[in-house]
Amino acid sequence: MGFNIGDLVYQLIMFIFLIGMIIAVYFFVRSLLTRANKSNRMEQKLDRVIELLEKDKRG
């Protein structure tokens, strides 16, 4: 009643596939959060530039 080598290989491949899926989801979510943070910083910088331009225009 031992393991067949094919069963062992199949289980190993499925385990690696499962771990790979978890890692892929982690990096996908992380990249989405990083992208949102970068666009937020870009908006803040643009707001600052517009503010300075308007201040310069008035003064």
Which pLDDT value is given to residue 1? 56
Please state the pTM of the whole predicted model.
0.58
Where helices occur in 1-59 by DSSP H, the ranges are 5-58
Which pLDDT value is given to residue 2? 65
pLDDT in tens, 12-32: 999 999 999 999 999 999 998
pLDDT in tens, 4-16: 999 999 999 999 9
Is residue 44 pLDDT above 90, yes or no?
Answer: no
Which tokens belong to 35?
Answer: 């992208």
Residue with the larger pLDDT of the pair 20 and 47: 20
